Structure 1
Amino acid sequence: MSIPFLVDRPEGLCPATWADYALTSLAVLPLVWRRRAPVAVTLAVLAAGAAYKLTLDGPGQPLPYPGLIALYTVAALSSARKRVSVASLVAALILPSVALNTQDAKELMFSFFVFGAAYALGRLTHVRGAYTAAVEDRAAQLERANRIEAEQATARERARIAREMHDILSHAVSIMIVQAESGPVAVRVAPARAEAAFEAISEAGRDAMAQLRRMLGVLREESTPAAPREPQPGTEALPALIERVSLDGGPSVAYETQGAARPLPPAIGTTVYRIVQEALTNAVKHATASLICVQLAYSTSALTIAVRDDGVGPGAAAGTGTEHGLIGIGERAAAHGGTATAGPGPHGRGFEVRAVIPLATAVPVASAAEVGM
């Protein structure tokens, strides 16, 4: 902006005065506030330029730089109504400005071009800024969504671990309590039965410790190579489970299958085992049953699990905490697209837990990691 004031003027023209310097500076200084009030700054710059042209005979500028910068800022920051109004005003002022200067058509076309380019560049900057803001907002939304998903995954994992701990400990402790209660009586009347009861207690404790050790090994961030990994129990482990429950001091347990039994995916097999385990635990703890019947019915599309006892029914179990176990049974069945119900047994006697798990179509989200440790 100051170059025309520093070079020698052609002969015949008056030298630049302090008034020329002052009015030129007045046209530039408002640009400091161009981002706060772009329209007002543009009007001030245009007014200062017009005053310079009409009142002084100072050095001419090859381009109206302050006006170009101001128009660019209006196009980049102002609303559509304001920027269109300012652009129309600038376009209307170009004609008299050229008429007062050279009256050349080339200057007119050049002026329209440079001011149009300044306006277009401002709009391009606005679009780029809006796109950048949209991308940043999208990234923030994705980050929030990922954080929420991670929190939900953590909550699901906590629920799964709690369910596993409940199944393992509740079953083992129930068996140990039943055997421990029958032990003192057996010591007096049948020492051999007492010995079997104590052996059942130790076996239940060892099994619970082994399962807990496997669970904790999976939860460790770094597992040692020496820690063995064993598959989760499936339907093939049901006879051993039933045998432990049926030892002296516990209720008799009958186990039968209907239909064509076939190998199950590991995740479904573990779910079947855990459902039967929890149903047996509830029957041993709360039903005061003498006979429990476990039945697996295979069909072409589903596996039906039924655990019935001849105990006192659900009334005695109300408020004793069986709700957690029954909720866990329902969650395990639902993980494979199945259903679970619990209520009075046939003819209103005893209690029955029934679960139906589809075999032909499995829910993709169900996996061994989600269903059993």
Structure 2
Amino acid sequence: MRERSDFWRRLDTRWLDVGITATLLVVPFVSFGIALQGGDLFNAVLIVPLVLRRKAPVVMFSAICVLLLAQTIVFDGPRYGDIALLFGLYAIAAYGPAWAVWGGLVAGILGAAIASTAWGVGAPEDIAGTTYRFVLLSTLVVASWLLGFLARTRRAYVASLEQRAEQLERDAEQQAQIATAAERARIAREMHDVVAHSLSVMVVQADGALYAADKRPEFALETLHTISETGRASLVEMRKLLGLLRGDDDGVELAPMPGASDIAEMVDQLRASGLAVELSVMGNLARLDSPTGLTVYRIVQEALTNTLKHGGPGVTAAVDLRVTTDSVRIQVDDDGRGGTTPDDGQGHGILGMRERIAVHAGEVEAGPRPGGGFRVRAVVPAPAVAG
């Protein structure tokens, strides 16, 4: 449809003016006879400039005005070719520069006055006849000019609509790019949390299995089994995240993302790996909506992952969750040496927690706690649990 519209515009620009001019020329040369007489030739000369009505409207209109001024001197009355003035007025109003639009109207009315006076010379009813001719010609002039001006206004309106549509299309494309970048950042945070937590658990379990391999082989086998389960679970969760990046639908159903209700299972997994963790929950975590529940889960997961990585041997941790009417309050404490461990610059856990909290306009604090150890405290607004 758009290709057809563009084709019609090209056809309208290139050939419509030629067609109009040729059609107007048919009348003096065919209707009045093939033989070229002086009057018929002058009619043709008046009409021919209309070929330029769109390409050079000022030149076209100026040529017609000069020829019409000469007509009032040479001929004693109107001629068929005078119709060129009406087409010229339309063209100058529709396609001419801004300064020429009103100049064309003034020139047309002035020409009507000159023609009315010149054609009435010698007539007994000079005043009445001249007035009648002037009103009639001025009406035709204004009508032709007004049609051109309306066409100009409509064309400008359509152009503004097209420009606005193009701007909206560009804005939509930019918004899509911003949304894509935000989604990639979100998935990157999820991937970091999954990989960091799972690998930290697996490293701790592997160290324990290596230590017990000689003295307690049965414990080493049990630990290796736990490592295997942790790795499989991590692969499943990573597959869920990577599935969001696929552009096709292969019919594979993806499991839901973890939520606050899954924190207990995560804590049990960490206990099985050797980390002593106490979990205290006040309120119903199942009432949280999915985004809030995922944020709470990831904050607790990241805090305990940091405990595994930096807490040192024999560390213990405590997780306290409180669901209030308008928020979820999280506090994760450990008694390890994480508060005194220098930052190696390789981790993004605290930054990831701050980014997650920023999405919900919440608060997060992370740092050494009084008496030793490390503390993560966060407040996640949760309007969905109100009431």
What is the TM-score with the length of structure 1 in the denominator? 0.83
Q: What is the CA distance between 1:164 and its match in structure 2?
A: 1.7
CA contact (8 A) 1:286 1:317 kept: no
Q: 1:142 to 1:228 in 2, by over 3 A?
A: closer
Larger mean CA deviation between 185-194 and 253-262 belongs to: 253-262
1:54 CA drift (Å) = 1.6
Query: What is the aligned partner in structure 2 of residue 31 from structure 1?
Result: 50
Q: Structure 1 residues 120-129 or 216-225, which shifts more?
A: 216-225
Q: What's the counterpart of residue 359 of structure 1? A: 382
| 3-state SS in 1 of match to 2:287 | coil
Structure 2 partner of 1:101: 119
| Distance in 2 separating the partners of 1:141 and 1:260 | 48
Instruction: Indicate whether 1:242 and 2:267 are aligned.
Output: yes
Q: CA deviation at 1:254?
A: 1.8
For residues 10-37 of structure 1, the C-alpha deviation after alignment (integer angstroms, 9 at most, x for no partner) is: xxxxx98654454433323333333344
The 3 A distance-change label for structure 1 pair 118 and 340 is same
Count of aligned residue pairs for this structure pair: 352
User: What percent identity do the matched residue pairs reach?
Assistant: 34
Deviation at 1:235, TM superposition (A): 2.6
1:168 aligns with 2:199: no
- Residue 371 (structure 1) aligns with: none
Residues 299, 353 of structure 2: 8 Å contact kept: yes
| Residue 184 (structure 1) aligns with | 210
Distance change in 2, residues 1:314/1:118 (3 Å):
farther
Aligned-residue offset at 1:4: 4.5
Confirm or deny that 1:151 pairs with 2:197: no
Alignment-derived partner of residue 254 in structure 1: 278
Counterpart of 1:212 (choices 212, 233, 238) is 238
- SS of structure 2 residue aligned to 1:189: coil
Whole-Å separation in 1 of the counterparts to 2:44 and 2:31: 17
Paired residues of 1:24 and 1:52 also in contact (CA < 8 A): no
Greater helix fraction, Structure 1 or Structure 2: 2
2: CA distance, partners of 1:262 / 1:22: 94
Cα deviation, residue 139, structure 1? 0.5
Query: What are the equivalent positions in structure 2 for 1:224-235 lying under 5 Å apart?
Result: 227-235=252-260
For residues 150 and 309 of structure 1, do their structure 2 counterparts lie closer, same or farther at Cα, with a shift above 3 Å needed?
Answer: same
RMSD across aligned positions (CA): 2.9
| Equivalent position amino acid for 1:168 in 2 | V
Residue 293 in structure 1 maps to residue 318 in structure 2: yes
**What's the offset of the Cα at 1:147?**
0.4
Alignment-mate amino acid for residue 286 of structure 1: H
**CA apart distance, 1:131:** 0.6
Deviations 1:305-353 (A, max 9, x none): 112222223553513422x222222222233332223222235x32222
In structure 2, distance between residues paired with 1:16 and 1:233: 95
> What is the alpha-carbon distance in structure 2 between the residues aligned to residue 261 and residue 214 of structure 1?
23
Question: 2:67 matched to 1:44?
Answer: no
In the alignment, which residue of structure 1 is the partner of 2:290? 266
Moved more, 204-213 or 140-149: 204-213
The range that moved more, 117-126 or 191-200, is: 191-200
- CA contact 2:47–2:81 (8 Å) conserved in 1: no
Once the two structures are TM-superposed, the CA of residue 8 in structure 1 deviates from its matched residue by 6.0
| Gap change, CA 1:243 and 1:140, over 3 Å in 2 | same
Question: TM-score scaled to structure 2, two decimals?
Answer: 0.81
1:84 to 99, 102, 107: 102
Q: Which moved more, 1:261-270 or 1:299-308?
A: 261-270
Q: Check if 1:337 corresponds to 2:361.
A: yes
Q: Which moved more, 1:137-146 or 1:256-265?
A: 256-265
Q: Is the 8 A contact 2:43 2:81 kept in 1?
A: no
State how far apart, in whole Å, the 2-side matches of 1:183 and 1:338 are. 40
1:116 partner amino acid: V
8 Å CA contact 2:283, 2:322 repeated in 1: yes
Quickly say closer, same or farther: Cα 1:239–1:261, change in 2 above 3 A. closer
- Partner amino acid, structure 1, of 2:271: S
Instruction: Check whether the contact 1:291–1:310 (CA below 8 A) recurs between aligned residues.
Output: yes
Give 1:229 deviation, angstroms.
4.2
Instruction: State the alpha-carbon separation in 2 of the partners of residues 36 and 217 from structure 1.
Output: 58
Contact residue 20 and residue 52 of structure 1 kept, 8 A: no
In terms of mean alpha carbon deviation, does 326-335 or 290-299 score higher?
Answer: 326-335
Which ranges of structure 2 fall in alignment gaps of 5 or more residues? 1-23, 121-125
Aligned to 2:262, what secondary structure does the other structure show? Answer: helix
- Name the counterpart of 2:8: none
Q: Does the 8 A contact of 2:261 with 2:286 survive in 1? A: no
Q: Is the 8 A contact 2:362 2:378 kept in 1?
A: yes
Distance 1:18 1:34 in 2: 26
Structure 1 residue matching 2:341: 3-state secondary structure? helix
Check whether the contact 1:260–1:299 (CA below 8 A) recurs between aligned residues. no
| CA–CA distance in structure 1, aligned partners of residues 58 and 32 of structure 2 | 36
Change (3 A) 1:5 1:213: closer
Q: Distance in 1 between matches of 2:164 and 2:176?
A: 18
1:350 alignment counterpart: 373
Q: CA 1:330/1:229 → structure 2, altered by over 3 Å: closer, same or farther? A: same
What are the superposed Cα offsets for residues 79-134 of structure 1, whole Å, 9 maximum, x if unpaired?
45432233122212212202322563443322111111111011101111111111
> Which region of structure 1 is more displaced relative to structure 2, 168-177 or 253-262?
253-262
Describe the SS at the equivalent of 1:64: helix
Q: CA deviation at 1:206?
A: 1.7
Q: Following the alignment from structure 2 to structure 1, what is the Cα–Cα distance between the partners of residues 84 and 265?
A: 91
